[in-house]
Amino acid sequence: MPPEPCPPHAALAQMIFGKWVSMAVSVAAKLRIADHLAAQPRHVAELAELTQTHAPSLYRLLRALASAEVFAEQADGRFGLTPIGELLRTGVPHSQRGVADYCGSEWSWKPWGDLLGSVRTGRTAFDHVYGEPVFDYLGKHPDESAVFNEGMTGFSTAAAQAVVQTYDFSVFRTIVDIGGGHGALLTAILNQHPGLQGIVFDSPDVVAGAVSPLTEAGLAHRCQVQGGDFFQAVPTGGDCYIMKHIIHDWNDDRAQRILQNCRAAISANGKLLITEMVIPPGNTPAIGKWLDLEMLVVASGKERTEAEYRTLLANAGFQLTRIIPTSAPVSVIEAIPV
């Protein structure tokens, strides 16, 4: 028999109290609990010593997370990993540890307390709370920036694999990853297509973190690392320009400026690929509709519909040719210069 639907009052309660679970998962991620449990289950006293925490309080955290199937409390009192908890380990395939750390960081969640202000005024809550835009703030706070970059890398890994499995990159010669961070997406593409060359382009302080991962992946001879400002210009010489979760960070005017710079740099027969969530119509459930609120609160951007992308691209000198769904929540939005 199929499970009975959740009563409306219970479903609403789960939504209201969702922050409890989110913050508990984030604290476990910050403490690297899953990493400490990777080899074997452990007692709370041992975990408390390893994490320099208060053992009774740590037990309460783990007990709650065990009820959500993140960890499992055994009969002997030790806690072990579950399939969900495995994804909080560092460096495992599809790891979400960095994402959880990012989402539970004060600078990330505090602006959500001003969501009402954003809804009333249209202003970005982060700017109001911290007095400056998020990327300016991160540029001045290296510890928070490191958390953000690790979170984005973790968020990128699953999406990168889905994009590589969906789109045929073999027709290109040089792929330029605009706002490529530490190179996770381009690494996945180059590993799949040994004949391609690549350029990772981002702000100098961010893209410096791509050198080591690319070297470790054996791609340093095939992939350049370039720093700069995509509002001013982007590298020339590519026949494929790709951006993943970049355009959604900015309002239409700023996004159009990035796209215009790509139009100025791209070869006549090149293609532009935008990897983003595309908002579906009506009441269709979509995580992009929730990420759109994150953009309202933290950044100055937005998630967009197909029609909005079509208009944005046309205003920058591109024609949207197709939107290709992937196995991840993102799609590949393909465009050509006109």
User: Does 286 fall in a domain?
Assistant: no
pLDDT of residue 4: 76
CA-based R_g, the chain, Å: 21
For 278, phi then psi, to 5°, come to -105, 120
CA-CA distances (angstroms) from residue 63 to 39, 40, 53, 137, 337? Answer: 20, 17, 15, 36, 55
User: Does 304 fall in a domain?
Assistant: yes
CATH code of 39's domain: 1.10.10.10
Domain boundary among 94, 129, 145: 94
Task: Compute the distance between CA of residue 154 and CA of residue 161 in angstroms, rounded to an integer.
Answer: 12
Number of structural domains found in the chain:
2
Q: How many CA atoms lie within 13 A of 96 on its CB side?
A: 15
* 197 in the same domain as 53: no
Domain boundary among 94, 113, 130: 94
pLDDT of residue 1: 67
Residue 102 corresponds to which tokens in the numbers above?
Answer: 């990012």
User: Does 274 fall in a domain?
Assistant: yes
**What tens digit of pLDDT does each residue of 41-94 get?**
999 999 999 999 999 999 999 999 999 999 999 999 999 999 999 999 998 988
* 304 in the same domain as 192: yes
Spatial CA neighbour of 206 closest among 153, 280, 132: 153
* 213 in the same domain as 86: no
User: Does 148 fall in a domain?
Assistant: no
User: Does 131 fall in a domain?
Assistant: no
> What domain range is 43 assigned to?
8-94
Question: Is the CB of residue 243 less than 8 Å from the CB of residue 233?
Answer: no
* 276 in the same domain as 174: yes
**What tens digit of pLDDT does each residue of 16-48 get?**
999 999 999 999 999 999 999 999 999 999 999
User: Does 123 fall in a domain?
Assistant: no
* 243 in the same domain as 168: yes
* 169 in the same domain as 87: no
* 214 in the same domain as 88: no
* 195 in the same domain as 75: no
* 166 in the same domain as 54: no
For each of the chain's 338 residues, which pLDDT tens digit applies? 666 778 999 999 999 999 999 999 999 999 999 999 999 999 999 999 999 999 999 999 999 999 999 999 999 999 999 999 999 999 898 899 999 999 999 999 999 999 999 999 999 999 999 999 999 999 899 999 999 888 887 777 778 889 999 999 999 999 999 999 889 899 999 999 999 999 999 999 889 999 999 999 999 999 999 999 999 999 998 999 999 999 999 999 999 999 999 999 999 999 999 999 999 999 999 999 999 999 999 998 999 999 999 999 999 999 999 999 999 999 999 999 99
* 38 in the same domain as 183: no
User: Does 293 fall in a domain?
Assistant: no
User: Does 138 fall in a domain?
Assistant: no
- The residues near 157 (Cβ < 8 Å, ≥ 6 apart) are 93, 94, 95, 184, 188
Catalytic positions, written as ranges: 248
Q: Is 159 exposed, middle or buried (0-12, 13-18, 19+ CB in 10 A)?
A: buried
CATH code of 323's domain: 3.40.50.150
Between strands 318-325 and 240-244, the pairing is unpaired
pLDDT of residue 94: 84
